[in-house]
Amino acid sequence: MFKHYYPLPWPDKNFCDSELQSLTERFIRHDKALQELPLILIPEYLLSLCSDIKQQHPLIKQLTQEWLEYARKDDERLRIERRWIPHTPVYIPDTYKGKQFFKIAKAIGDIPLNAPVIPKNQNQGYWLKTLHYYWQAAGVTFAHQLLGIIQDPLEEGGIINNRLPQSIIQYLKLTRNIDIALFRILVRGQRIIKTWARQNKISYPFNQPLELFIEILKQYFLIRWQLDPCNKDWQWMTKQIQRDNISTRIYLLKETIWKESSPDNAGYCKRKEEYLDYLKQTNSWNNNWVLAMQAQMHKNSKYNNHLEPYLEAYITAMQEGKELFVDEFDWRSGKPYKKQLNGKQVTNRPLPIQGDVDPLGYIRWYYS
């Protein structure tokens, strides 16, 4: 872990953040990392300009700085101190579809910082900001999958492909597959979910499936935060247990919740009932949509043939993305730990880690 930063020799000129970032990246090599993704709506005729010229255009420069000023307020709230914020602008055509893209991507990207959570220490603040950057990227990739408009951001030549590590790119692809599969279920099953809610006297305050989808993501984020940074115990849930849990959930959804259990499999019948009880007790839309699908599939109605492909696609995406449900860190008493790789060997016990900001403004994690 670095002990001291030497000041960078910037001339006494009032550089804006975009100019500072461009200048540093010309002279200082840095590792790829998660970063701020400003969503910039611009006239279509400006999209064809090269990146350097776009950054210098007065309108784009103003919009980018306004976004970064808002981002600085988030830094202040989370007590993150850095000279400037590393960022990659995402230029979106200022059209009807472009505004829809902006709205969807921002709604998803803002979930971590709009969530009712308060970091209890500085490491939690760094982690919340790290999650914010990941969700921003996930929002952009999801919006692209729905609307197109820009080049696929995760593929070669895409806006964030060369800015993030390949491991993060792969995680974002898995996240996108799960999110798109879930969203398609909500679209296809909108009438079914509404009917189920009415029959069970549960409020359905959503005007369209996208609103329900965003609410499910919000609830999912809160659950993960409560299980991870908010874990006050001195013990953590091992990664193997986490893998077993998600594997069990996938099996239950595939073989018992959305299908009738085999009478010969008493063990899974019991686990199915326990899982259904858990879903009902939580009374959240993160689980309610599953119950609505379960009720519909057991009716054996004509709609099942239309639903099954979407449910199967969701299960497949979940199976392929199981590692997304395994925490990167082990949180104990609100503090992060991680096993260290020594050569080809992994330490038996997780070691404490510490978040910090490097000279270029990127959030990094180091062993204490």
pLDDT of 88 strictly over 80 = yes
pLDDT at 308 (0 to 100): 84
The average pLDDT across 313-323 equals: 91
β-bridge mates for residue 338, sequence order: 351
Parallel/antiparallel/unpaired status of strands 335-338 and 330-332: antiparallel
Structure tokens of 257?
């919740």
Q: Where are the domains of the chain?
A: 17-367
Task: With beta carbons less than 8 A apart as the criterion, state whether 89 and 64 touch.
Answer: yes
pLDDT of 4 strictly over 50 = no
Instruction: For 302-357, give the DSSP string.
Output: TTHHHHHHHHHHHHHHHHHTGGGGS-SSEEETTEEEE--EETTEE-SS-EEEEEEE
pLDDT of 191 strictly over 60 = yes
pLDDT at 350 (0 to 100): 82
pLDDT of 275 strictly over 80 = no
The average pLDDT across 68-90 equals: 92
The average pLDDT across 224-229 equals: 87
Rounded distance between C-alpha atoms, residue 15 and residue 106, angstroms: 27
pLDDT of 8 strictly over 50 = no
pLDDT at 261 (0 to 100): 55
**Residue 316 phi, psi dihedral angles, 5° rounding:** -60, -45
Rounded distance between C-alpha atoms, residue 152 and residue 159, angstroms: 8
Give per-residue pLDDT as tens, 115-160. 999 999 999 999 999 999 999 999 999 999 999 999 999 998 888 9
Cα–Cα separations (whole angstroms), residue 354 to 85, 155, 367: 20, 32, 6
pTM over 0.75: yes
Mean confidence (pLDDT) of the chain: 83
Task: With beta carbons less than 8 A apart as the criterion, state whether 55 and 64 touch.
Answer: yes
